[in-house]
Chains A and B, each alone.
Chain A
Amino acid sequence: DADVTQTPRNRITKTGKRIMLECSQTKGHDRMYWYRQDPGLGLRLIYYSFDVKDINKGEISDGYSVSRQAQAKFSLSLESAIPNQTALYFCATGATGEGKNTQYFGPGTRLTVL
Chain B
Amino acid sequence: AQSVTQPDIHITVSEGASLELRCNYSYGATPYLFWYVQSPGQGLQLLLKYFSGDTLVQGIKGFEAEFKRSQSSFNLRKPSVHWSDAAEYFCAVGAGGTSYGKLTFGQGTILTVHP
Contact = CB atoms under 8 A, between A and B. Distances in A.
A34 interface: no
Nearest to B34: A102
In the A-B complex, the 10 residue pairs with the closest CB atoms: A101-B94, A42-B105, A105-B44, A105-B43, A43-B105, A107-B43, A100-B32, A42-B107, A100-B51, A101-B32
A74 interface: no
B87 interface: no
A94 B103 CA distance: 11
B90 A42 contact: yes
B46 interface: yes
Given A42-B106, A43-B90, A107-B42, A99 B49 contact: yes
Interface in B1-27: 4, 9
Contacts of A105: 36, 43-45
A100 B45 CA distance: 17
Interface residues of B, number: 23
Contacts of B103: 45, 101, 103
A43 B99 CA distance: 16
Contacts of A4: 43
Interface of B: 4, 9, 32, 34, 36, 42-46, 49, 51, 90, 94-95, 100-103, 105-108
A40 B43 contact: no
Contacts of A99: 49, 51
B94 A40 contact: no
Contacts of B51: 99-100
Contacts of B94: 100-102
A94 B43 contact: no
A64 interface: no
Contacts of B101: 31, 48, 50, 94, 96, 101
A89 to B, nearest CB: 11
